[in-house]
Amino acid sequence: MDFTFGEEHERVRETVRRFAAAEIAPIAREHDDNETFPREMFRKWGDLGLLGVRYPVEDGGSGMDKISDCIVREELSYVCQSFASTWSAHTHLGIWPIWKAGTPEQKARYLPGAFAGTRVSAFGLSEPGGGSNIRALATRAEKIDGGWRISGAKTYITNSPFADFMLLAARTAPELTPQAISLFIVDLPNPAVAIHTLAKEGIRASETGLIHIDGLELADEALLGGQTGTYPIILDSLSENRVGVAANALGMARAARDAAIAYARDRVVAGKRLGQYQVIAHKIADMDADIEAARWLVYHGAWLVDQDRLTAPMAAKVKLFASEVAVRASEQAIRIHGGAGIMRDFPVGRIHRDSLVYVIGEGTSEVQRNLIARALDL
């Protein structure tokens, strides 16, 4: 067993840390207030090679590994989750299925721009009728001569308001079976796809869309991998991304803990620094222990991805634990701050709002528990 990060991993961490402090921290508050994302950030990420971290060089990626991908997520999330979630929806949800299952033509058409940051992607799976029950999705793709006609609706789709292309999940047969669900690649904007930006309480600088699709006609070449029944690709993609977003949660939990420590060292109440009150010190000690456990769970999950050994129940455990740690840590950080915790001049309120996104997105905590319990054959 070896629990140390390699030199390359430390270099990635240092690069992202410096970048996020210089380029994201100064604008995070403004974008959270305005609920806008600065699209030019993608070019900067692309120039640094941060959009292809997890993908091999031969496919146009940066040739690192899932551990590096999680390091990038952790450090971006430490500074601002909106930016990290935007990065995540693009680099994983929008790219991974094309990389994994796309035809050579689809890879050649979409991956270079996606890695360079000149084309931004989104992933449209969740629907207004329900996000947890993917198998029941109602967006329908009907075969027509030379292609497909698609109608339906998607909601809460990250990056969709400014995306250049979107992976769209649709039912290619009426039955409620996995074989009936397929992915399509849709170039945006498209007159048959109406996208309305949603106002949010968490990750406010990440742009999220409600989408109506009305008679969208796509050529056969838009069907991912040229084949129907790509539901297993969706499931594999979600499993890997559960480890990924757990790293996002880890970054938020660390940021909340560090803010709490800074405040506990600084704030004097009745002649004593907050940290000298045992009740406060214990809260921070619990956060610290939680974070340590989440850290090793996240990087064990990443290591399993790199070994091609990640299972769905394991991914669910990693995601469940780390996302709940971020919620707990940020709530405690607010309490430790007292009234200041509710003020926007302090980061802990934003971190808590943002942390709630990941006990919902990528499958709620209840869905993760269902996945874990199913494997226990109760």
Ligand X SMILES: Cc1cc2nc3c(=O)[nH]c(=O)nc-3n(C[C@H](O)[C@H](O)[C@H](O)COP(=O)(O)OP(=O)(O)OC[C@H]3O[C@@H](n4cnc5c(N)ncnc54)[C@H](O)[C@@H]3O)c2cc1C
Report whether 95 contacts 111 (CB < 8 A).
Answer: yes
Beta carbon nearer to ligand X, 10 or 366: 366
Rounded to a whole number of angstroms, the minimum distance from the CB of residue 223 to ligand X is 18
Would residue 292 show up in a list of annotated catalytic residues for this protein?
A: no
Beta carbon nearer to ligand X, 169 or 260: 169
Question: What are the residues facing 140 on neighbouring strands?
Answer: 151, 171
Question: What are the residues facing 148 on neighbouring strands?
Answer: 143, 218
d(CA 66, CA 194): 34
Phi and psi of 282, rounded to 5°? -70, -40
Beta carbon nearer to ligand X, 15 or 364: 364
Rounded to a whole number of angstroms, the minimum distance from the CB of residue 130 to ligand X is 5
Beta carbon nearer to ligand X, 67 or 167: 167
Report whether 123 contacts 152 (CB < 8 A).
Answer: no
For the record, the structure tokens of 208 come out as 């999220």
Other Cβ atoms within 10 Å of 366 Cβ, number: 12
Rounded to a whole number of angstroms, the minimum distance from the CB of residue 170 to ligand X is 12
Rounded to a whole number of angstroms, the minimum distance from the CB of residue 66 to ligand X is 20
What's the gap between Cα 55 and its chain centre?
17
Phi and psi of 189, rounded to 5°? -75, 160
d(CA 324, CA 267): 27
d(CA 120, CA 329): 32
Q: Is the previous residue joined to 189 through a cis bond, with omega within 30 degrees of 0?
A: yes
Beta carbon nearer to ligand X, 12 or 233: 233
Beta carbon nearer to ligand X, 123 or 148: 123
Which residue is closest to ligand X by CB? Answer: 131
Nearest of 200, 198, 160, 196 to residue 32 by alpha carbon: 200
Rounded to a whole number of angstroms, the minimum distance from the CB of residue 235 to ligand X is 13
Rounded to a whole number of angstroms, the minimum distance from the CB of residue 157 to ligand X is 5
Rounded to a whole number of angstroms, the minimum distance from the CB of residue 132 to ligand X is 3
For the record, the structure tokens of 189 come out as 């904007």
With a CB cutoff of 8 Å and minimum separation 6, the contacts of 316 are: 242, 363, 367, 368, 369, 371, 372
Report whether 276 contacts 327 (CB < 8 A).
Answer: no
Beta carbon nearer to ligand X, 167 or 336: 167
Phi and psi of 308, rounded to 5°? 60, 40
d(CA 306, CA 69): 11
Q: What is the DSSP letter of 224?
A: G
Beta carbon nearer to ligand X, 284 or 357: 357
Rounded to a whole number of angstroms, the minimum distance from the CB of residue 302 to ligand X is 21
Burial class (CB in 10 A: 0-12, 13-18, 19+), 73: buried
Using CA of residue 233, residue 236, residue 239, residue 240, what is the dihedral sign?
A: negative
- List residues near ligand X by CB under 6 A: 89, 93, 123-126, 130-132, 156-158, 200, 203, 208, 357, 360-364, 366-367, 370
Out of 74, 127, 240, 362, pick the active-site residue. 362
Catalytic residues: 362
